[in-house]
Structure 1
Amino acid sequence: MSESETTPTDRSAAAPDRPARADARRNRDRLLAAARDAFAATSEAVPLDAIARAAGVGIGTLYRHFPTREALVEAVYAAELDEVVSSATVLLGEFEPAVALRAWMTRYAAFFKIKRGMSDTLRAGWASGSIATPATRERVTAVIAMMLRSGAEAGSLRSDVDPEDVTMMLLGVFLSTAAIDAQDRAEQLLDLIVDALRPALEPKRR
């Protein structure tokens, strides 16, 4: 019998593993969602048992998926960064580039807020090497460059802007408003950044 062939007995024996794997994936997804919400709610360290309760699982299940706090934080960070990057293409498919860029800035702001709740663990993990250092800034700047190109082609965004400058402006907004927990002020500042990225209107001739 070839390796690709299985007897009915073989298939029935393997069947119970599939629901178990599906349950494990669901538990992992629930843990990541609960951790993301917990990290977004506070900049203080969140107890792991509180995250497990919020996910509706026991602490043992959490440790099976994430043996350490560092492992959980690294997984949440990676998932959120991937979502921030991939959301740009989705938004460009739904809105014109300037509107898409503004919506993406709000998504990036949410990521930054979640990152604050993980900052102590991230810094310690990056310093010790227990958490891989991600290319966050490079990936974010690449997204901004893509959206600026789309906007320049559509005529709704300037073509002479360095994407790295936009990244720096966004980080400045997030850091300055986080210190005083001023969400409304952050939104106003993001609006100003997008306005600054729009092409200047030609003066009307008399």
Structure 2
Amino acid sequence: MSDSVKRGRTRRADAQRNRELILQAARNLVHEPGELRLNAVAKACGIGQGTLYRHFPTREDLLAEVYRHEVEELVATAPRLLATHQPLDALAAWFDRVAAYARIKRDVFAAFEAATWRDLAAHSLGPIGEAVELLLAAGRSDGSVRSDAEARDVIVLISWLSRLDDAELDARGPRLLSILVDGLRACRR
């Protein structure tokens, strides 16, 4: 293998690593008070601003990708949980992950103009709805989830989590999600 091919692979691997570092730093910093500043993200990653701008030319591009990445992780969690848990337990564990997603959603959307966050929300509704339906369908199939449970209803209910501040989300979030799981539970007679 030539040195130029090896260097090309290294740059691609480094570029992917830098992108992941940028997204993680932005995810952590978006929660901080004030505007998310790109120079703070670059500093937190230990990379130059030029590297950051090659990946994300604008603050909005970075915020949108933080949100998309969070949605992808949330959606990917559903089938993994179903592979290792009973459906209702998988749903309850997925709701724990929803609470973390709600924080990111709230903070990212607070940093955006209204038109931009509506576009992001519309983009994520389909994949999140599919993940909820996957979990509900597994529970309906094994009889642990009530037969009339619909993904849209669950999404409406969990969407309120992103409206809670951190203290309230920490204090009430687990209880609210537990109530939701109990409400989705099929009645056993």
- The answer, yes or no, to whether TM exceeds 0.5 is yes
Q: Could you tell me how far apart the structure 2 residues matched to 1:82 and 1:94 are?
A: 19
- Residue 44 of structure 1 contacts residue 117 of structure 1 at CA under 8 Å; is this kept in 2? no
SS of equivalent to 1:16: helix
State the number of aligned residues. Answer: 189
Stretches of structure 2 lacking an aligned partner (at least 5 in a row): none
2:26 maps to which of 27, 35, 40: 35
Q: Does 1:19 align with 2:19?
A: no
The answer to whether residue 105 in structure 2 is matched with residue 115 in structure 1 is: yes
How far did residue 81 of structure 1 move? 0.9
Higher helix share: 2
* Matching of residues 42-61 of structure 1 within 5 Å: 42=32, 44-61=34-51
Match of 1:181 in 2: 168
**Within 5 A, what are the aligned runs for 1:1-206?**
11-39=2-30, 41-42=31-32, 44-124=34-114, 126=116, 134-175=122-163, 177-178=164-165, 181-202=168-189
TM-score by length of 1: 0.81
Do the aligned partners of residues 124 and 173 (structure 1) sit closer, same or farther apart at CA in structure 2, a change above 3 Å counting? closer
Tell me which amino acid in the other structure corresponds to 1:155: G
1:122 and 1:66 map into 2 onto residues whose CA distance is 15
**8 Å contact from structure 1 (residues 173, 190) kept in 2:** no
Shift in Å at residue 109 of structure 1? 1.9
Q: Report if aligned partners of 2:161, 2:169 keep a CA contact under 8 Å in 1.
A: no
Q: Structure 2: which amino acid aligns with 1:200?
A: C
Change (3 A) 1:163 1:13: closer
Structure 2 letter corresponding to 1:26: R
Give the fraction of aligned pairs with identical amino acids, expressed as a percent: 35
RMSD: 2.3
Whose radius of gyration is greater, 1 or 2?
Answer: 1
Separation in 1, partners of 2:45, 2:123: 29
- For the residue of structure 2 that corresponds to 1:15, the secondary structure is helix
Unaligned runs of 5+ in 1: 1-7
8 Å contact 2:146–2:184 — kept in the other structure? yes
- Say whether the 8 Å CA contact 1:45–1:117 is kept in structure 2: no
Counterparts of 1:182 and 1:15 in 2: how far apart (Å)? 48
